[in-house]
Amino acid sequence: MEMNGTETRGEEAVTLALSVAVTVISAIGLLLNAYILFE
């Protein structure tokens, strides 16, 4: 059961990291688009 708990935490950490990465990339993309449009 300990192995499953560790694996679950690992998957949650990876999912969280991916979510943060997608959010950051989306924010950067929006900023770049705004910069190009208003430049």
Per-position DSSP letters for 1-39, written without gaps between them: -HHHHHHHHHHHHHHHHHHHHHHHHHHHHHHHHHHHHH-
Q: How confident is the model at residue 26 (pLDDT cuts 50, 70, 90)?
A: very high
Q: How many domains in the chain?
A: 1
Q: What is the pLDDT of residues 1-16, one digit of tens each?
A: 556 666 678 889 999 9
Say what the pTM is. 0.62
Identify the domain containing residue 17 by its residue range. 1-39
